[in-house]
Amino acid sequence: MLVRIQREDVEIGMFVHAFEGSWFDHPFWRRYFRIETEEQLDRIRNSAIDGLLIDDALGVGLREAAAATKPEREPGPRRKPAARKKFRDETRAPRAQTTFAFAQEEADTPRRRRGYAAECRRAQRTIDRTRDAVAGMFDAARLGRAVEVRQMVRLASSIGASIERDAKALINLVRLKEKDEYTYLHSVAVCALMINFARHLGLDPQEVEDMGVAGLLHDVGKVAVSDAILNKPGGLSKGEMRSVREHPVAGHRLLASSAGAPDLALELCLRHHEKIDGTGYPGGLKGDELSLAARMGAICDVYDAVTSNRPYKAAWTPCEALTEMRTWEGHFDPALLDRFADSLGIHAIGTLVRLSTGELGVVVGSAGEAGENVVVRAFFDCAMLSEIAPVDRTVAPSSEHPRIMGRESPTFWRFHDWDVLRFRVLAAAPDAQPAPESVSR
């Protein structure tokens, strides 16, 4: 059972489930560990955390700690018995202010939704802070210094907290990067995409966290490539291309010499330019030779690259990007690419999806100033099991209604001539979109 205690009540043998408060106040970058030394004990007691959650099923509980005698050291300050009982008797912990608060015990805790606009403002501050830190990391790496991994963990955790509150806010904002800040914000974007993707795949919290850190660090090897090459508006010469292709190995070497880098970060740094058919670099690995992190990273890396303005190419909208990426046979794991699209709620043009309106529709494109909205042409009523006059529905970020519920199988709905039907829907002249309130839910 999870029990919330204050930092002064912590004892050796307790199993830490999570720290509360700002990540910048946390005494350790990791979570889920047993307190085994006096040094760990002192770091927790002398930190600025608000409190912590312990799992008394995996370690010493409050009662056991209170009963134990330790004459070799002076006991620390203690909470009054009544207050201590109050915390001991709590069967549900309040929502921790830490990063990846994904524990099932907290999943059912009600929380007030801040709204998309409010989260955008909060996410922008996180983006700015992380961009500056990544720029500092690159500058330090150019001077030959090791990467400060602990700082990157904290920043990835802040991004993860924003993703948990409203995934589309930060992901949409970080896509709107200027050409001269692409190198740094690309790392921030890949971090956010990896976290969102990993959560969608149901990976465990530590893997989600490590995927985010890996995203922040995946391109650190570009410190070995000149800015003139990275920002060149035209095509690269063979020598310049050879220099670019060396950055995964350079980054892996740098991270390997930096203390605390997760194994997933080393893997993603080295393998994010590999392709599923073996034509990628640096190792030419293919198929099952590529780890999940490598296959996920290849998708997230390319998706952010093609949806960003570059010196040599204007950005594609998310729908355009996913549509094109699906045509690059042999580049990505196709099943994972579909799961990635699902994680964003954005799909390639021509994809059959189900809407919260109770309709089936085909994705026809993007809308909005930055292409942040998805336009779905509804053509089928799921309740009546019959076609309707095509009507375009615009799905905005974080919209509750209408929203995309997920992709659907044409076979399941017995659309046996699906290619013909899809072409007919895409070519149809849609009716004006009615207000969501007039649509059956």
Given a cut of 90, is residue 67 above it in pLDDT?
no
Mean pLDDT over 361-366 rounds to 95
pLDDT surpassing 80 at residue 277: yes
In this prediction, residue 30 carries a pLDDT of: 57
The 386-395 sheet, strands edge to edge: 386-395, 373-381, 359-367, 352-355, 404-407
179 or 353, higher pLDDT: 353
Give 157's pLDDT tier (boundaries 50, 70, 90): very high
Q: What average pLDDT does range 387-411 have in this prediction? A: 91
More confident residue, 117 or 382: 382
Query: For residue 274, is pLDDT > 50?
Result: yes
Least confident of 4-8, 138-142, 205-209, 408-412: 4-8
Burial class (CB in 10 A: 0-12, 13-18, 19+), 173: buried
Mean pLDDT for the stretch of residues 145-149: 92
Domains of the chain: 2-96 (no CATH), 116-338 (1.10.3210.10), 352-438 (no CATH)
What confidence score (pLDDT) does residue 440 get?
34
Q: Is 129 exposed, middle or buried (0-12, 13-18, 19+ CB in 10 A)?
A: middle
Q: What is the largest CA-CA distance in the chain?
A: 83
Please tell me the predicted confidence (pLDDT) of residue 441.
34
Identify the top-confidence range among 2-6, 66-70, 102-106: 2-6
pLDDT band of residue 302 (cuts 50, 70, 90) is very high
| pLDDT for the residue 3 | 85
Q: What is the model's pLDDT at position 87? A: 34
Mean pLDDT of all residues in the chain? 83
Q: How far is CA 366 from CA 77, 107, 127, 362, 397, in A?
A: 59, 32, 24, 12, 12
Mean pLDDT for the stretch of residues 261-289: 96
- Please tell me the predicted confidence (pLDDT) of residue 434: 54
Who has greater pLDDT, 94 or 141? 141
Residue 184: CB partners within 8 Å, gap ≥ 6? Answer: 131, 134, 135, 138
Residue 37's pLDDT is: 83
User: Residue 61 corresponds to which tokens in the numbers above?
Assistant: 């509980």
Q: What is the pLDDT of residue 13?
A: 87
Distance CA 128, CA 124 (A): 6
Dump pLDDT digits (tens) for 17-51. Answer: 877 765 545 666 555 678 888 878 888 888 777 78
- Ramachandran angles phi, psi of 333, nearest 5°: -70, 115
Section 383-392 average pLDDT:
95
Of residues 160 and 398, more confidence is placed in 160
With cut-offs at 50, 70 and 90, classify the pLDDT of residue 334.
very high
User: Could you tell me which residues are beta bridge partners of residue 394?
Assistant: 375
pTM for this prediction:
0.71
How large is the average pLDDT for residues 171-193? 89
3-state secondary structure the chain: CEEEECHHHCCCCCEEEEEECCHHHCCCCCCCEECCCHHHHHHHHCCCCCEEEEECCCCCCHHHHHHCCCCCCCCCCCCCHHHHHHHHCCCCCCCCCCCCCCCHHHHCCCCCCCCHHHHHHHHHHHHHHHHHHHHHHHHHHHCCCCCCHHHHHHHHHHHHHHHHHCHHHHHHHHCCCCHHHHHHHHHHHHHHHHHHHHHHCCCCHHHHHHHHHHHHHCCHHHHHCCHHHHCCCCCCCHHHHHHHHCHHHHHHHHHHCCCCCCHHHHHHHHHCCCCCECCCCCCCCEHHHCCHHHHHHHHHHHHHHHCCCECCECCCCHHHHHHHHHHCCCCCCHHHHHHHHHHHCCCCCCCEEEECCCEEEEEEEEECCCCCEEEEEEEEECCCCEEEEEEEEEECCCCCCCCEEEECCCCCCCCCCHHHHHHHHHHCCCECCCCHHHCCC
Choice among 184-193, 236-245, 274-283, 395-404 with the minimum mean pLDDT: 395-404
